[in-house]
C-alpha cells in the first residue's frame, strides 16, 4: 500500500550541511568566548619586584596581596564561597646572596617528601629552566573538606635570584589550567639588563672568550663596573649548579694560589688552611689552579670548589662553583672544562694597573703625612645602620671619637652588629679599634661567626715600620694561633679602609690599588677602588678584593665623613640615624 501526501521529498544532504554549519558556528562562538576570557592583557609589573608579566584580561589583583592575582567568582556555589576565587596565581621574587640548588629551593618551599606531593617535572619560567611541583592541599570550610591541587614552578637563577609561580585552580588541575599557567609563565620576564642582554654581549663586556652550552643560563654582574658573568647549568632540565666567572688581577707579588687560599679562609672560615691548592697548568703555559672544600661532596657547603686562570697580571679570572653535595662533582667538572678553554681579553677596568698603583701610593702617603685628622676632625660620631643579609635583617651601630679628645693622638671606635644566626638565635658581634694620629700604629679586634663558635681576630702594629701581629682564637680556646707579617708600602690599616675609599669616591684619584689585611688569611690581599658616578649627593666608589671580586659599592656623606650606605651582592645597609657632638668621650661597646 502506498500513501501519497502530496509533498515532495526534502534535500537531506543540504539539511545535514546546514546542521553542521550551525553546530560549527555555536562551537566557534563558545571557543571565541573561552579565548576572550583567557586572552592575555597588557604587560604589568608585580608590585615590589622587577617581574613583568601578562595575565588573562579578567584577572584582578588580589586586594589582600599585591603579588597575587585572581579570577573573581562568577557565580555562587559552596565550593567557590569557601575559596573565594575561581583560579589564583601568585608571583614571588627574591634575591639571595648566591645561587640556591633546586633541591634546597624545594625544601625552602616545603615541597619535599611524600606528603601530598604528586610529582616533579622540568619546565620553564620565561627563558629560565625551572622545576614544577604538584601537591594536594586540603581546605576546611564548615563541615566540608575541600581537596585541591596546587602547582608551583620554581626557577633558581645563577647569581641568586629566585622566581616562584604558584597556581591554584578551583579544585583539580585540568588541561585548561595547564594552558593558562604555560601562557602566564611564557610571558614572564625580569626587568634587569644584566639578565636580558645576550650572552655574547655579557661575555664580551667581561673580556671572556669561551663557548657555553645552549641550555646554560648566563647573567651579568649585579654591581656596576664589575667584570664577570654568572652561568648556570642544568641536570635533566632542572637548575643544578652555578659558576661565577669573575675577572681579577695579580699584584703585591701574589701568586694565583694566594688568591685561592684567601678565598678559602674567608668563605669556609678556614684559618688553619686545611684546604689545599692543586696547580694544573694548561698546555699553552697558562696558570690554572683549583681548591676544594675539605668536605667536598659531603658537606652542605654553598661553594664546594674554586678555580683560577691567570695569563698575566691583568688577565686573570676566578671561577667560583656553587652547588649542593650531590651536584658538586658535576659542577666542578664543568668548571674544569671552562678553565681549560677560557681565553681572557683586556678590559678597561684592569687595563692600567700602573696608574691605579700610583693612585694608591699617593693616598697612602697622604694618610701617613696627615693621618685621618683633616677628614675626621674633632667631632665624635655615632651612626646606626639598618641592613639585610638575604632575608635576615640586621642593625649596625658604629661609634668613633678622638683619643682623649685629641685628634693628634689618634682615634678609637666600636662597631656592634646585631642579627639572628642561621638557627634564629640572636647574635651580637663586636669590633673595637684604635689608630694613632698618623695611621701607623693601630689595634683592631673583631668577632667572626664560625661553625665551631665565635672566632676572635686581633691585629696589632706598634709603629708604621713594625710588623703586624695577628692573633686568632675561638671562644674558650686555650691555644690561640699567632702569626706575624710585614705589609707592603700601600697598606691601609683596617680601621681606615673606608676613609681612603672615600677619597677615591670623591675623585681625588680615579682608581687606587691598595693593600688590605686578610683577617682570616695569612697576611694581606690587593684591593682595587674605582670612583663611580654619585648617588644623588653621595659620592660613590666600587671596591674589589682580588680573591673575591664580586664587588662592594660604598657611598659617603661628605658632611659627616661617614659611610652613607654600603651594598654588595650578599648584603646591603643604609644609614638610619647619626649624631655628632664635639668632644665626646671614648666609644663603649
pLDDT for 144: 64
Higher pLDDT, 516 or 86: 516
Co-location of 155 and 243 in the same domain = no
Do the bridges between strand 65-71 and strand 60-62 make them parallel or antiparallel, or are there none, so unpaired? Answer: antiparallel
What are the angstrom distances between the C-alpha of 143 and each of 23, 78, 80, 168, 520? 43, 11, 15, 22, 61
Give 18-74 pLDDT, tens digit per residue: 777 777 776 665 555 445 446 889 999 999 999 999 999 889 888 888 888 988 765
Q: Is residue 18 part of a domain?
A: no
Cell (9 digits) for 131: 622545576
Q: Which of 82-91, 294-303, 360-369, 486-495 has the lowest mean pLDDT?
A: 82-91
DSSP state of 339: H
Cell (9 digits) for 440: 701607623
Asked if pLDDT for residue 13 goes beyond 80, the answer is no
Q: What is the arithmetic mean of pLDDT over 159-177?
A: 90
Asked if pLDDT for residue 291 goes beyond 60, the answer is yes
Asked if pLDDT for residue 128 goes beyond 90, the answer is yes
Q: Is residue 214 part of a domain?
A: yes
pLDDT for 140: 65
Last residue of some domain: 349, 375, 398? Answer: 349
Last residue of some domain: 191, 222, 252? Answer: 191
Q: Is residue 226 part of a domain?
A: yes
Q: 384 falls in which pLDDT band (50, 70, 90)? A: very high
Q: What is the arithmetic mean of pLDDT over 485-507?
A: 96
Co-location of 200 and 187 in the same domain = no
pLDDT for 494: 96
Q: Is residue 450 part of a domain?
A: no
pLDDT for 426: 85
d(CA 210, CA 333): 16
CA atoms within 13 A on the CB side of 442: 28
Co-location of 411 and 500 in the same domain = yes
Co-location of 334 and 250 in the same domain = yes
Q: How far is CA 83 from the centre of its chain?
A: 36
Co-location of 293 and 389 in the same domain = no
Backbone angles phi, psi at 212, to 5 degrees: -115, 145
Asked if pLDDT for residue 582 goes beyond 60, the answer is no
Q: What is the arithmetic mean of pLDDT over 444-451?
A: 91
Q: 273 falls in which pLDDT band (50, 70, 90)? A: low
Q: What is the arithmetic mean of pLDDT over 132-150?
A: 75
Question: What percent of the chain lies above the pLDDT cut of 70?
Answer: 88
Q: What is the arithmetic mean of pLDDT over 150-167?
A: 96
Q: 119 falls in which pLDDT band (50, 70, 90)? A: confident
Give 170-188 pLDDT, tens digit per residue: 778 889 999 999 999 999 9
* Domain that residue 204 falls in: 194-349
Co-location of 139 and 256 in the same domain = no
Q: Secondary structure of 441-496 in the HEC alphabet?
A: CEEEEEEEEECCEEEEEEEEECCCCCCEEEEEEECCCCCCEEEEECCCCCECCHHH
Do the bridges between strand 208-209 and strand 217-220 make them parallel or antiparallel, or are there none, so unpaired? Answer: unpaired
Q: Is residue 480 part of a domain?
A: no
pLDDT for 28: 62
pLDDT for 142: 64
d(CA 256, CA 234): 29
Q: Which of 105-119, 258-272, 401-415 has the lowest mean pLDDT?
A: 105-119
Instruction: Please name which of 66, 71, 72, 68 lies closest in space to residue 56, comparing C-alpha atoms.
Output: 71
pLDDT for 482: 93
Co-location of 532 and 383 in the same domain = yes
Q: Secondary structure of 242-284 in the HEC alphabet?
A: EEEEEEECCCCCCCHHHHHHHHHHHHCCCCCCCCCEEECCCCC
Higher pLDDT, 367 or 586: 367
β-sheet bridge partners, residue 307: 290, 319
Q: 476 falls in which pLDDT band (50, 70, 90)? A: low
Looking at every residue in the chain, the average pLDDT score rounds to: 88
pLDDT for 584: 42
pLDDT for 21: 76
Give 524-561 pLDDT, tens digit per residue: 999 999 999 998 889 999 999 999 999 999 999 977 77
Co-location of 165 and 296 in the same domain = no
Co-location of 162 and 209 in the same domain = no
Helix-helix angle 12-38:175-187, to 10 degrees: 50
d(CA 3, CA 528): 109
Co-location of 78 and 174 in the same domain = yes
Q: Which of 23-27, 228-232, 516-520 has the lowest mean pLDDT?
A: 23-27
DSSP symbols for 180-238: HHHHHHHH-EE--HHHHS-HHHHHHHTTEE----TTSEEEE-SSTT--EEEEEEEETTE
Last residue of some domain: 349, 364, 397? Answer: 349
Q: What is the arithmetic mean of pLDDT over 437-462?
A: 92
d(CA 498, CA 391): 26
Co-location of 49 and 185 in the same domain = yes
Co-location of 314 and 436 in the same domain = no
Q: What is the arithmetic mean of pLDDT over 176-205?
A: 95
Q: What CATH number did the domain enclosing 209 receive?
A: 3.40.1000
Q: Is residue 20 part of a domain?
A: no
Q: Is residue 499 part of a domain?
A: yes
Q: Which of 154-168, 465-479, 490-504, 525-539 has the lowest mean pLDDT?
A: 465-479
Contacting residues for 375 by C-beta, under 8 A, at least 6 apart: 499, 502, 561
Is 242:221 a contact under the CB 8 Å cutoff? no
Asked if pLDDT for residue 496 goes beyond 70, the answer is yes
Q: How far is CA 380 from the centre of its chain?
A: 35
Q: What CATH number did the domain enclosing 50 receive?
A: 3.40.1000.10
Higher pLDDT, 483 or 425: 483
Question: What percent of the chain lies above the pLDDT cut of 90?
Answer: 67
pLDDT for 490: 97
| DSSP H or E run through 14 | helix 12-38
Q: Is residue 461 part of a domain?
A: no
Cβ neighbours around 121 below 10 Å, total: 13
What is the number of domains present in the chain? 3
d(CA 38, CA 318): 48
Higher pLDDT, 16 or 431: 431
Amino acid at each position: 500500500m502506498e500513501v501519497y501526501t502530496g509533498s515532495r521529498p526534502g534535500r537531506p544532504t543540504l539539511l545535514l550541511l546546514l546542521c553542521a554549519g550551525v553546530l560549527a558556528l555555536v562551537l566557534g562562538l563558545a571557543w571565541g568566548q573561552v579565548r576572550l576570557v583567557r586572552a592575555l592583557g597588557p604587560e604589568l609589573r608585580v608590585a615590589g619586584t622587577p617581574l613583568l608579566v601578562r595575565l588573562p584580561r579578567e584577572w584582578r589583583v588580589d586586594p589582600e596581596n599585591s603579588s597575587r592575582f585572581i579570577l573573581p567568582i562568577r557565580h555562587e556555589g559552596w565550593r567557590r564561597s569557601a575559596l573565594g576565587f575561581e583560579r589564583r596565581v601568585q608571583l614571588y621574587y627574591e634575591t639571595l646572596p648566591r645561587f640556591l640548588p633546586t633541591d634546597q629551593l624545594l625544601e625552602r618551599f616545603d615541597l619535599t617528601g611524600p606528603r601530598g606531593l604528586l610529582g616533579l617535572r622540568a619546565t620553564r619560567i620565561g627563558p629560565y629552566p625551572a622545576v614544577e611541583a604538584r601537591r594536594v592541599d586540603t581546605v576546611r570550610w564548615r563541615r566540608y573538606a575541600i581537596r585541591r591541587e596546587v602547582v608551583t614552578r620554581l626557577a633558581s637563577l645563577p647569581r641568586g635570584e629566585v622566581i616562584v609561580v604558584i597556581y591554584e585552580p578551583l579544585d583539580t588541575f585540568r588541561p585548561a589550567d595547564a594552558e593558562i599557567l604555560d601562557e602566564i609563565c611564557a610571558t614572564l620576564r625580569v626587568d634587569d639588563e644584566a639578565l636580558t642582554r645576550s650572552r655574547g654581549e655579557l661575555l664580551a663586556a667581561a673580556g671572556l672568550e669561551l663557548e657555553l652550552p645552549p641550555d646554560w643560563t648566563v647573567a651579568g654582574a649585579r654591581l656596576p663596573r664589575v667584570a664577570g658573568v654568572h652561568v648556570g647549568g642544568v641536570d635533566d632540565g632542572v637548575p643544578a649548579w652555578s659558576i661565577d666567572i669573575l675577572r681579577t688581577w695579580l699584584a703585591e707579588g701574589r701568586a694565583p694560589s694566594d688568591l685561592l687560599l684567601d678565598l678559602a679562609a674567608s668563605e669556609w672560615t678556614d684559618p688553619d688552611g686545611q684546604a689545599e691548592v692543586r696547580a694544573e697548568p694548561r698546555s699553552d703555559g697558562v696558570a690554572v689552579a683549583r681548591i676544594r672544600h675539605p668536605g667536598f661532596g659531603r658537606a652542605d657547603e654553598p661553594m664546594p670548589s674554586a678555580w683560577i686562570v691567570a695569563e698575566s697580571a691583568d688577565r686573570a679570572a676566578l671561577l667560583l662553583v656553587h652547588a649542593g653535595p650531590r651536584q658538586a662533582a658535576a659542577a666542578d667538572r664543568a668548571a674544569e672544562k671552562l678553565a681549560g678553554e677560557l681565553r681572557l681579553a683586556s678590559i678597561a677596568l684592569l687595563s692600567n694597573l700602573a696608574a691605579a698603583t700610583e693612585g694608591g701610593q699617593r693616598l697612602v702617603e697622604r694618610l701617613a703625612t696627615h693621618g685621618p685628622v683633616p677628614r675626621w676632625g674633632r667631632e665624635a660620631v655615632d651612626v646606626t645602620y639598618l641592613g639585610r643579609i638575604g632575608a635576615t635583617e640586621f642593625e649596625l651601630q658604629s661609634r668613633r671619637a678622638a683619643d682623649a679628645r685629641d685628634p693628634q693622638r689618634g682615634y678609637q671606635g666600636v662597631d656592634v652588629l646585631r642579627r639572628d644566626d642561621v638557627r634564629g638565635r640572636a647574635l651580637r658581634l663586636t669590633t673595637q679599634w684604635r689608630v694613632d694620629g698618623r695611621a701607623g700604629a693601630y689595634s683592631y679586634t673583631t668577632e667572626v661567626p664560625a661553625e665551631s663558635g665565635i672566632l676572635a681576630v686581633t691585629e696589632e702594629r706598634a709603629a708604621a715600620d713594625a710588623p703586624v701581629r695577628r692573633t686568632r682564637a675561638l671562644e674558650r680556646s686555650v691555644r690561640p694561633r699567632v702569626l706575624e707579617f710585614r705589609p707592603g708600602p700601600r697598606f691601609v690599616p683596617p680601621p681606615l679602609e673606608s676613609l681612603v675609599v672615600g677619597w677615591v669616591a670623591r675623585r681625588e684619584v680615579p682608581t687606587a690599588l691598595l693593600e688590605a689585611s686578610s683577617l682570616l688569611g695569612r697576611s694581606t690581599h690587593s684591593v682595587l677602588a674605582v670612583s663611580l658616578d654619585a648617588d644623588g649627593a653621595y659620592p660613590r666608589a666600587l671596591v674589589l678584593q682580588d680573591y673575591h671580586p664580586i664587588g662592594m659599592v660604598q657611598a659617603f656623606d661628605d658632611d659627616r665623613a661617614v659611610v652613607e650606605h654600603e651594598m654588595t651582592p650578599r648584603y646591603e645597609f643604609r644609614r638610619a640615624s647619626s649624631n655628632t657632638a664635639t668632644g665626646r668621650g671614648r666609644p663603649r661597646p
